[in-house]
């Protein structure tokens, strides 16, 4: 069982907007702890998508945006494209575990 809870799957049609939620507790996201998001394509390592809640690394499209509030965070993807199909993970520091923890991952399917 993951310390951060994500929906197992989400889907959307090309061009649509989807959001992926990441629900934590007062010992992690609600501490508050910054939330980071990763995208993982099959057979490859995760790649940083959003860091410090809402910042994007150089080269990441502004179609991706992050938001944190209370004990939850979310990742929004607008203008869905076929190559957005991947697994997405959230990450935050947990005070109780004294460790960085991840969500269980959400598989995004582009219909």
Partner 1 sequence: QVQLQQWGAGQLKSSETLSLTCAVSGGSLRDYSWTWIRQSPVRGLEWIGGVRHSESTYNSSLKGRISISLDTSRRHLSLRLSSVTAADTALYYCARGVTVNLSFYLDVWGKGTTVTVSS
Q: Which residues bind partner 1 (CB under 8 A)?
A: 2, 33-34, 36, 38, 44-48, 51-52, 57, 89, 91-93, 95, 97-105
CB closer to partner 1, 14 vs 70: 70
Q: How far is the CB of 57 from partner 1 (least distance, A)?
A: 7
Between β-strands 9-12 and 106-110, what pairing exists: parallel, antiparallel or unpaired?
A: parallel
Q: How many CB atoms lie within 10 A of CB 44?
A: 9
**Residue number, 35 or 80, with CB nearest to partner 1:** 35
Q: Where are the beta strands (DSSP E) in 1-111?
A: 9-12, 18-23, 35-40, 47-50, 64-69, 72-77, 86-94, 99-102, 106-110
Task: Say which DSSP state 62 is in.
Answer: T
Task: Give the residue with the Cβ less far from partner 1, 77 or 103.
Answer: 103
Least distance to partner 1, CB of residue 70, Å: 17
Structure tokens at 3: 């310390």
Nearer to partner 1, 12 or 34 (CB): 34
Q: How near is the Cβ of 33 to partner 1 at its closest, in Å? A: 6
């Amino acid at each position: 069982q993951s310390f951060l809870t994500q929906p197992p799957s989400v889907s959307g049609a090309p061009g649509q907007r989807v959001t992926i939620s990441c629900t934590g507790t007062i010992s992690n996201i609600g501490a508050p702890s910054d939330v980071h998001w990763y995208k993982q394509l099959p057979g490859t390592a995760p790649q940083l998508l959003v860091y410090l809640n809402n910042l994007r690394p150089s080269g990441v499209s502004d179609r991706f945006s992050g938001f944190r509030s209370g004990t939850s965070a979310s990742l929004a993807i607008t203008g869905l494209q076929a190559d957005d199909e991947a697994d997405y993970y959230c990450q935050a520091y947990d005070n109780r575990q004294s460790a960085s923890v991840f969500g269980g991952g959400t598989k995004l399917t582009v219909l």
